[in-house]
Amino acid sequence: MADGEGKIGNNGKKVNLLVVTYPAQGHINPLLQFSKRLHHKGAAVTFVVTKFLFNNQPNSDHPPPFPVETISDGHDAGGFPSAVSISDYHDRFKHDGSQTLRDLIRRKEDAGRRIDAVVYDGVMPWVLDVGKEFGLRTVAYFTQSCAVNNIYYHVYRGEIKVPVVAEEEIRIAGMPPLTTADMPSFIQVVNPYPGFSDVVINQFENVEEADWLVCNSFYELEHQVLEGMKNKLSMKTIGPNVPSFYTDKRIDDDRDYGFNLFKMNNEVCQKWLDARPKASVVFAAFGSYATLSVEQMEELAWGLAQSNSFFLWVVRETEAAKVPVKFAEATVDRGLLVPWCYQLDVLSHESIGCFVTHCGWNSTLEALTIGVPMVAMPQWTDQTTNAKFVTDIWKTGVRALLDDARIVRRTTIADCILKVMDNNGGTKIRKNATKWGELAKRAVDRDGSSDRTVDEILAQLVSV
Residues 6+ apart with CB under 8 A from 447: none
Q: Beta strand 44-50 with 16-20: parallel, antiparallel or unpaired?
A: parallel
CA angle in degrees (0–180, nearest 5) for 233-237-238? 140
Query: How many angstroms separate the CA atoms of 65 and 52, rounded?
Result: 21
Query: How many angstroms separate the CA atoms of 45 and 36, rounded?
Result: 8
Residue type at position 214: V
Nearest alpha-carbon partner for 101 in 72, 132, 133, 77: 72
Question: What is the Cα 240 distance to its own chain's centre?
Answer: 9
Q: In DSSP terms, which residues pair with 354 in a beta bridge? A: 282
**Number of Cβ atoms within 10 Å of the Cβ of 67:** 11
CA angle in degrees (0–180, nearest 5) for 284-287-291? 95
Nearest alpha-carbon partner for 163 in 200, 191, 135: 191
Positions marked active-site:
27, 121
Query: Which residues of 182-250 form beta strands (DSSP E)?
Result: 212-215, 235-237
Nearest alpha-carbon partner for 237 in 257, 254, 255, 212: 212
CA-based end-to-end distance of the chain: 14
Query: How many angstroms separate the CA atoms of 15 and 6, rounded?
Result: 10
Query: How many angstroms separate the CA atoms of 34 and 25, rounded?
Result: 14
- CB-CB contact of 391 with 399 (8 Å): yes
Cα–Cα distances (Å) from 317 to 26, 94, 272, 292, 321, in that order, read: 18, 31, 20, 13, 8
CA angle in degrees (0–180, nearest 5) for 323-326-331? 90
Q: Indicate the helix (H) or strand (E) that contains 352.
A: strand 352-357
